[in-house]
Every structure is written in C-alpha cells, then in structure tokens.
Amino acid sequence: MAARKNQVFSGAGAEVAGHTQNQAFSAMPVNNILRDDFSYEVAVERIPLPSGGLVYPKNHPLHNVEALDIKAMTAREEDILLSRALSKQGTTMSALISACLVDKRVDPKTLISGDRLAIILGIRITGYGSLYKSDVSCQSCQISTRNDFDIGQLDVKPLEIAPAGDENLFEFVLPMTNKRVLFKFLTGQDEEDNTALIERKQKLFPNAPEGVVTTRLESHIVSIDGISDKSKISKFVSAMPAGDSRALRTYIEKHEPGVNLEVSWQCPHCSFDNKNALPMGSLFFWAD
Ligand SMILES: [Zn+2]
C-alpha cells in the first residue's frame, strides 16, 4: 500500500510530493484498539486535488492545499453506501467523503465537483482496488460487453486558469454582447441546490422544459458587468444570445478542474475503437 502513496492517479503523483501539505493530519487517538489489539491500521492514501486548493478562500482548510489524505474504505463506509435514507436525500457521496477524510474540518459540500470526483475515485481505489469491471455498449454495433477499466490510469485535469482573486471566481467576456462575466465552479452544495430547484420547478410546471441549461448557468454566474443580483442575472441568462450561452458553457467545461473520465476500449465483436466516459453507475462501488 505504502508504495502507491502519491500515485493514486497517474500524472499527478510526482508534482504533489513535497508541496503544501495539510498540517492537521495527526489526529490518531492515543488508545487505538485496532492497532494495539489487532495489529491492524486502516491505510491512509494521499489524493491530489485537481483544483490545487486555489479555489478555496483563505479561511477554508483546503486553501492552497494540493493534496489531502483519505483513509481506506471499511465496512462502516459500506453502511453509508447502503443507507436508503442518505440515498433519498441525495447525500450519499457527501457522507462517504466525510467519513473518509482524515481532516475532519473539511465540509465535503464546500468542495468543487472536480475535487469531489477525485476523492470519490480515490476512495473506490482504496476500498476495492483500481480494477473496475463494467458493462458498456459499443458505439458501432451496440452490443454490450463487460470491460475491465483501470481507475488508477485516469488523468487528473488540473486547474489551468488563474482565479480573479484568491478564491473560486473566474472571468470570461461574452463574445456577442461583450459583457464581463465572473463565474465559479460548482460545489457539492451548489449541485444539490440545483437538483432540488429543478425538481421544484418540474412539480410546479410539469409541462415546461426542465431548464437544466439555464439553471446550471445561473448558478455558475456570480456577476455580469458587476451586477450580482440573482434575479437580474436570471433575466439576463434567459434572454442572452445562444452564442454567448454556448461560449460560456464551453469555456467552463474546458477549464473545470477534475479527473478526465474518458476511456478507450476495443469492441471484441466488431473491433471498433470506442471512446466514452467511464460509466459510473450504481455498481461503481462494488468490486465485480
Ligand atoms: Zn462493436
């Protein structure tokens, strides 16, 4: 296990070593029953943060922190995965991350989605290994086959644009209206709020379009030409030229830090070379 430290994902391990390390990771209890009586210690792994901690404000425990420690998944975390109550609330992943983070000051809902993804993949690797068998359909012959994927081979996609300040704020000038937008990358909390908002809208107006694009865009946008009033932003977003909307969405997607989930595999039936996003269904956390 120790040899794999810093190499949970390829392409990120080397740069992480020796950089800012969180100093609060020494909270092992003095009386450790597992260690003292069973000679067993739960393994801890270091996970690179795609954001490099650059999106977190000064008072956040992960401000400028490039990697954090997680403890390996145990039977207790399997309880979380199987909890129906958590699944109903849509908070299973936050609870899982929270249980596995060594630094308990970190609230998983404050983490941006890409960092959460890196942690979730890391938890999967420490719990069940990096081999992941999943059914995928061939894009050419449509036949579904079981494939072996190596989660450890996925590449971290680091943050490459500079924040417009010392936190989660980035600038983009809309190509058609020339307006200056400040946007943020969504956190776990933002994602949960979005899902709830879309569900509420659907209940109120069952025949209206779901508004997934505008709702997401609205939660990304912090201000337009200095105006940060949410209802004004909402009005602008629903009336903005499609070219502006698409350019902004493309820019956000291209630069969002996270883990590149694209995998390639050859179809055993027709030899077609497939490229698709790693399927992360409900069986992702089960070994085979
Ligand atoms: Zn095929």
Which residue range forms the structural domain that includes residue 68?
4-133
Instruction: Give a yes or no: residue 209 inside a domain.
Output: yes
Residue 235's Cβ-count burial label (10 Å; 0-12, 13-18, 19+) is: exposed
Distance in Å, CA 134 to ligand 1 centroid: 16
pLDDT classification of 44: cutoffs 50, 70, 90: confident
Q: What is the pLDDT of residue 256?
A: 97
Same domain, 95 and 41: yes
State the Cα angle at 19 between 18 and 20, rounded to 5°: 130
Instruction: Give a yes or no: residue 282 inside a domain.
Output: no
Residue 135's Cβ-count burial label (10 Å; 0-12, 13-18, 19+) is: exposed
Distance in Å, CA 254 to ligand 1 centroid: 29
Number of domains observed in the structure of the chain: 2
154 pLDDT more than 60: yes
Q: What is the DSSP letter of 152?
A: G
Same domain, 87 and 208: no
pLDDT classification of 8: cutoffs 50, 70, 90: low
Distance in Å, CA 60 to ligand 1 centroid: 48
What mean pLDDT is reported for the chain?
85
Instruction: Give a yes or no: residue 154 inside a domain.
Output: no
Residues in the chain: 288
Kindly report the pTM of this predicted structure. Answer: 0.83
Q: What is the DSSP letter of 175?
A: T
CB 77 within 8 A of CB 178: no
3 pLDDT more than 50: no
CB 146 within 8 A of CB 69: no
Instruction: Give a yes or no: residue 142 inside a domain.
Output: no
26 pLDDT more than 60: no
pLDDT classification of 20: cutoffs 50, 70, 90: very low
CB 274 within 8 A of CB 136: yes
Distance in Å, CA 262 to ligand 1 centroid: 18
Tell which residue, 182, 187, 156, 220, has the closest CA to residue 56.
187
Q: What is the pLDDT of residue 168?
A: 95
